[in-house]
């Protein structure tokens, strides 16, 4: 039986609390059928509402952060030996001075595991109590995903683990995904890791890209707070545009299936180097970042004046400055560490967040506007309360 009007109101109120993005619960459009559209609408709505009504949404807290980067460093001066560039050009056009890169024999999973362990330690949660590990990455050690390797390394025996690929937006998308599992009561402790080693895909002869990227990992722990506790995820907004993929990609370049005989007994897949139209991505970023942050703020029912810190994807200082100006956020409230690490893709937001938390720059109760953007094209923002 469809729920009565009164139950519908109650159910909507239960769905509302501030962690799940505020969505209008309108019914999907219907195709022609022998049922009247009104009858089908009422049935489908009742199913949706009944599903929500059965759940009590749980509170969700951002309880810890951690990070890990390789020791090996490539400075701008080092790059001068590889391509026609110079420290002054790179620093003034991007803000980047150095980047950390994986050495031979080092794995991304190992750094992701270290970042995860540090986040768990801050949160006071044992690895054995982790229910879910989401590893946001575009450069896993294993084509089939590296989240399970991280699980094995930290001993999170009971966790479900999967990789999530949304390039430099991956961490924010992973955070929102993890929070949904906690809000609905499915899981209690979720590790969200952003980890990338794009140095593996950089053409070190291409000065348009090789100056930008570095390797690193960052992680956060989300924990369930019993009942209707305040939620750390205040609002979000996420988007994609596959038509923009041509501006930034690293395409598969295998040869396809060959006739199987002795000389072609196996195929080896590989990917091209990163290909980027810098100016197009720059224009996209300065447009998309303020827009998506404003949409996430609206979703959270907050204003920009309530934002303590902007923690944006660390791609280019000029993009950070432009976004801050458009949003009217003073530059001293923008977290920036790209001088040291360059663009670490999915890792850049949790790495910047973790450094700021450990420096007591970001303190419990601070409201943060996170925003990632990059290949896909994808862009995503989450408004969160730290601690
Ligand atoms: O995660 C998202 C990933 N990507 C991004 O966010 C990248 C967004 N784009 C950017 O950050 C910038 O477009 C770049 C930093 C990549 C390039 O900066 P730009 O100000 O857009 O430079 P440009 O491509 O317009 O090039 C300006 C000049 C050109 O020379 P001419 O034609 O004016 O003589 C380039 O050939 O600078 C030259 N140039 C360089 N010179 C020294 C380009 N790269 C370099 C270099 N060193 N590394």
Residues 6+ away with beta carbon under 8 Å from 188: 129, 131, 182, 223, 224
Ligand 1 touching residue 314 (CB < 6 A): no
- Condensed to tens digits (0 to 9), the pLDDT of residues 253-278 reads 977 777 777 676 677 889 999 999 99
The pLDDT score that the predictor gives to residue 55 is: 62
Q: Is the peptide bond before 377 cis (omega within 30 degrees of 0)?
A: yes
Q: Are strands 233-240 and 378-385 parallel, antiparallel or unpaired?
A: antiparallel
pLDDT at 254: 79
Give the integer Cα–Cα distance in Å for 380 and 149.
Answer: 27
Residue 207 alpha carbon, nearest atom of ligand 1: 48
**Can you give the pLDDT at residue 258?**
73
- pLDDT at position 266, please? 77
Instruction: Say if ligand 1 is within 6 A of residue 93 CB.
Output: yes
- Give, using CA atoms, the residue closest to atom 8 of ligand 1: 282
User: Does ligand 1 lie within 6 Å of residue 282's CB atom?
Assistant: yes
pLDDT of amino acid 240: 98
Q: Which sequence spans correspond to the domains of the chain?
A: 60-255+269-385
Catalytic residues: 168, 313, 343
What is the CB neighbour count within 10 angstroms for residue 9? 12
Low pLDDT (below 70) residues in the chain: 1-55, 227-229, 262, 264-265
Q: What is the pLDDT of residue 31?
A: 32
Average pLDDT taken over every residue of the chain: 87
Site to probe by mutation for ligand 1, drawn from 208, 375, 378 as the one with most ligand atoms within 8 Å of Cβ, is 208
Distance of CA 105 to the CA centre of its chain: 26
The answer to whether the beta carbons of residues 298 and 290 sit under 8 Å apart is no
Q: Are 372 and 380 in contact (CB under 8 A)?
A: yes
pLDDT in tens, 283-307: 999 999 999 999 999 999 999 999 9
Q: Give the residues across from 221 on adjacent strands.
A: 64, 191
pTM of the model: 0.87
CB 381 within 8 A of CB 288: no
Residue 64: both structure tokens together: 């810890």
CA 278 to ligand 1 center in whole angstroms = 6
pLDDT of residue 227: 67
Location of structure tokens 């140095």: 199
Name the CATH superfamily, with its identifier, for domain 60-255+269-385. Answer: Thiolase/Chalcone synthase (3.40.47.10)
- Of residues 206, 173, 199, the one with CA closest to residue 346: 173
CA 200 to ligand 1 centroid distance, Å? 21
CA–CA separation, 151 vs 127, rounded Å? Answer: 9
Pairing of strands 215-225, 233-240: unpaired
pLDDT for the residue 268: 80
């Amino acid at each position: 039986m469809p729920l009565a009007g009164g139950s519908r109101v109650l159910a909507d109120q239960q769905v509302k609390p501030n962690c799940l993005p505020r969505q209008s619960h309108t019914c999907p459009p219907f195709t022609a059928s022998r049922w009247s559209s009104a009858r089908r609408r009422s049935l489908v709505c009742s199913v949706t509402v009944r599903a929500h009504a059965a759940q009590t949404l749980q509170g969700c807290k951002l309880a810890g952060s951690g990070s890990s980067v390789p020791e090996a460093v490539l400075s701008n001066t080092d790059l001068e030996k590889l391509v026609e560039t110079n420290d002054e050009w790179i620093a003034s056009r991007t803000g980047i001075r150095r980047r950390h890169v994986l050495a031979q024999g080092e794995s991304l999973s190992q750094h992701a595991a270290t970042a995860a362990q540090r986040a768990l330690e801050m949160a006071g949660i044992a690895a054995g109590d982790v229910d879910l590990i989401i590893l946001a990455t575009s450069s896993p050690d294993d084509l089939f995903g590296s989240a399970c390797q991280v699980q094995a390394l930290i001993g999170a025996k009971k966790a479900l683990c999967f990789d999530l690929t949304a390039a430099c937006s991956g961490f924010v998308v992973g955070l929102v995904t993890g929070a949904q599992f906690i809000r609905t009561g499915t899981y209690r402790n979720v590790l969200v890791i952003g980890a990338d080693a794009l140095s593996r895909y950089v053409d070190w002869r291409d000065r348009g890209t090789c100056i930008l990227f570095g390797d690193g990992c960052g992680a956060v722990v989300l924990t369930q707070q019993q009942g209707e506790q305040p939620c750390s995820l205040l609002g979000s907004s996420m988007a994609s545009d596959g038509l923009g993929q041509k501006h930034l990609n690293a395409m598969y370049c295998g040869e396809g299936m060959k006739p199987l005989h002795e000389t072609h007994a196996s195929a080896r897949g590989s990917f091209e180097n990163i290909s980027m139209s810098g100016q197009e991505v720059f224009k996209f970023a300065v447009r998309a970042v303020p827009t998506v942050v404003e949409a996430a703020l609206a979703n959270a029912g907050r204003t920009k004046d309530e934002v303590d810190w902007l923690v944006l994807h660390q791609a280019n200082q000029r993009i950070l400055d432009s976004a801050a100006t458009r949003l009217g956020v003073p530059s001293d409230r923008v977290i920036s560490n790209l001088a040291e690490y360059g663009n670490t893709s999915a890792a850049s937001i949790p790495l910047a967040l973790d450094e700021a938390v450990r420096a007591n720059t970001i303190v419990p109760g601070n409201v943060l506007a996170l925003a990632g953007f990059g290949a896909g094209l994808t862009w995503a923002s989450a408004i969160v309360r730290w601690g």
